[in-house]
Structure 1
Amino acid sequence: MEAKDTLFKKKYTLNCRGKLLSLEAPLVMGILNLTPDSFYPGSRLSSAEEAVAKAGKMLSDGADILDIGGYSSRPGAADISAQEEQERILPAIQAILQKYPEAILSVDTFRADVAEAAVNAGAAIINDISGGLLDEAMFETLARLQVPYILMHMRGTPQTMSGLAKYEDVTVEVLDELRVQVAKLQQLGVKDIILDPGFGFAKTVEHNFELLRHLDDLRILDLPLLVGLSRKSMVYKTLGIEQADALTGTIVVNTLALTKGADILRVHDVKEAKQTIILLEKAKL
């Protein structure tokens, strides 16, 4: 499929607690990690106050969505309880919305009870790295809450996923596994579903580049696409650099993803992602 056929092609709309968020042009989701061990040290925040300050900067840089997480999903990350996860994220959600009431917040969690608590606190989107596979109550909770849901592909858990990166055809298998979960969600009446192929989750660097090359194949499910490529190993390992130096590489892979039809970029560096989108939209490649 030609890039010009996928770039800014579909006009999706997400209902975020009554606010209609248009995906006519790609959006930027800024990452706010209330964790001490997220894979990129530059994204770690230790308090609600720090989260509010970072949120303000991201919003001023053009973030359309802020994604708040309290559970590190890097390979081999330590497991924490649902209570601790909530204690990390709920004060930040409340503080950000008090300061920026128009902000659209996403909660990065695979636990249904954490997702529900976050929505009750004001979050408008659920971003589930497990695609509903780590908590059997997630899909029924979503059907009741009726908030947009980011369905990511992963195998296993953050602790086990690295050993499960085995595929005959990674694009076909990711697509098939996402399709099964989409069908379950649609049967339950969940309306706003966003797909995330899960770059770096149970996938090698080679798998990630193969998925990126064929990202537009996921369009067969006729759902918006989110990509999370920011400062990941496929960038810094390929270039032989540190994560701190991976911004240029991130811009390159995000640009490629946009030409393959990405609707949302999940990033640490909001300003640069927003500028990338503006320039590509202007170019109309």
Structure 2
Amino acid sequence: MPKVTKKTLNLRGNVLDLSTPVVMGILNITDDSFYAGSRVPSVDQAVERARTMYTEGAVFIDIGGYSTRPGAADISPNQEADRILPVIEAIVKAVPDVWISVDTFRAAVARQAVEAGAVLVNDVAGGTLDPAMFETVAGLQVPYVLMHMRGTPQTMTGQTTYPDLVPDVLFEIQIQLQTLRNLGQMDVIIDPGFGFAKTPRQNFQLLNRLDAFQAFDAPVLAGLSRKSTIWRTLNIRPEDALNGTTVLNTIALTKGADMLRVHDVLEAVETVKLISSCQQIL
């Protein structure tokens, strides 16, 4: 009998059904994220962007205050929290029907964000950069995105050597996932970490084998939006990478992605609708 992958999340007592993939909109409260169109300089503008994303069909808004582009400058946990907490609080009040995710690898920031209203923690480091993260999330009992990365945002481009890419990434995720589950963490979403300690060629390899990540019996998130794999391959700018993003999101959905993390919500929602309609008649 084929294995059935878990397709629900518990969000503060509300069950989110992922049998149809959902879209997570990116909201960066930074001044140096790689795609300028994702940056918002004020709380009011963040609220308006969140409202637009929700109207376009986003189920989650992923709020981050620390740029994780390669070589990005480090900031303190206090600076990170000061950037995102007012935004989370304002969006929870102004757009109460959208779920807030916090994009952080720091346990203290994650805790403060959940207390402010976030319902999901999206950790690009998969617990490798803060030893307190797993116990914190397990204690909070909110869903957790376990992403694969090696090193730090400042060093990850030098850590792309894998004897066998897909099995190696699966193995490294499995170690972290087992630790989480031993702590009683119920809802975990798996993210293979496109662009994090991977070359463009390796990102394409991961995408072609994305269905292998269903072995964890957990939802799978694909974060491909406007990444360098697209614009370097096509010799364009991040600003021109929407079409390429849609192409790779389409492939990800056919390979079993349950969540798409994107800068452009409407286009991603339309992609999900078309792929889902096609799959329903098979």
TM-score norm. by structure 1 comes to 0.96
Match of 2:247 in 1: 252
Q: How many residues align?
A: 279
Within the candidate set 146, 149, 169, 1:151 is matched to 146
Rounded Cα–Cα distance in structure 1 between residues aligned with 2:36 and 2:270: 23
> What SS does the corresponding residue of 1:194 show, helix, strand or coil?
strand
CA contact (8 A) 2:6 2:218 kept: no
CA contact (8 A) 1:13 1:22 kept: yes
Within the candidate set 122, 125, 128, 1:133 is matched to 128
For the pair 1:234 / 2:229, whether they are aligned, the reply is yes
Match of 1:209 in 2: 204
CA contact (8 A) 1:163 1:202 kept: yes
- Report how far residue 10 of structure 1 moved: 4.5
> What SS does the corresponding residue of 1:237 show, helix, strand or coil?
helix
CA contact (8 A) 1:225 1:262 kept: yes
For the pair 1:124 / 2:119, whether they are aligned, the reply is yes
> What SS does the corresponding residue of 2:232 show, helix, strand or coil?
helix
> What SS does the corresponding residue of 2:195 show, helix, strand or coil?
coil
For the pair 1:111 / 2:106, whether they are aligned, the reply is yes
- Report how far residue 130 of structure 1 moved: 0.3
User: Which aligned pairs between 1:1-285 and structure 2 lie closer than 5 A?
Assistant: 10=5, 12-284=7-279
Rounded Cα–Cα distance in structure 2 between residues aligned with 1:108 and 1:205: 23
- The code of the aligned residue for 1:195 comes to I
CA contact (8 A) 2:66 2:80 kept: yes
Q: What RMSD, in angstroms, separates the aligned Cα atoms of the two structures? A: 1.3
Give ranges in structure 2 of 5+ residues lacking alignment: none
- Report how far residue 170 of structure 1 moved: 1.1
- Report how far residue 39 of structure 1 moved: 0.8
CA contact (8 A) 2:58 2:98 kept: no
Rounded Cα–Cα distance in structure 1 between residues aligned with 2:254 and 2:79: 39
Structure 1 runs (4+) deviating above 4 angstroms are none
Rounded Cα–Cα distance in structure 1 between residues aligned with 2:20 and 2:38: 26
> What SS does the corresponding residue of 1:171 show, helix, strand or coil?
helix
> What SS does the corresponding residue of 1:123 show, helix, strand or coil?
coil
- Report how far residue 102 of structure 1 moved: 2.0
- The code of the aligned residue for 1:218 comes to F
- 1:246-274 deviation line (CA, Å, top 9, x unaligned): 10100000000000000000000000000
CA contact (8 A) 2:5 2:214 kept: no
- 1:145-204 deviation line (CA, Å, top 9, x unaligned): 000000000000000000001112111111000000000000000000000000000000
- The code of the aligned residue for 2:232 comes to K
> What SS does the corresponding residue of 1:38 show, helix, strand or coil?
coil
Rounded Cα–Cα distance in structure 1 between residues aligned with 2:19 and 2:209: 22
CA contact (8 A) 1:153 1:177 kept: yes
- The code of the aligned residue for 2:79 comes to E
CA contact (8 A) 1:11 1:22 kept: no
Rounded Cα–Cα distance in structure 1 between residues aligned with 2:201 and 2:278: 30
Rounded Cα–Cα distance in structure 1 between residues aligned with 2:5 and 2:134: 26
Rounded Cα–Cα distance in structure 1 between residues aligned with 2:30 and 2:87: 12
- Report how far residue 280 of structure 1 moved: 0.7
Worse-superposed segment, 67-76 or 212-221: 212-221
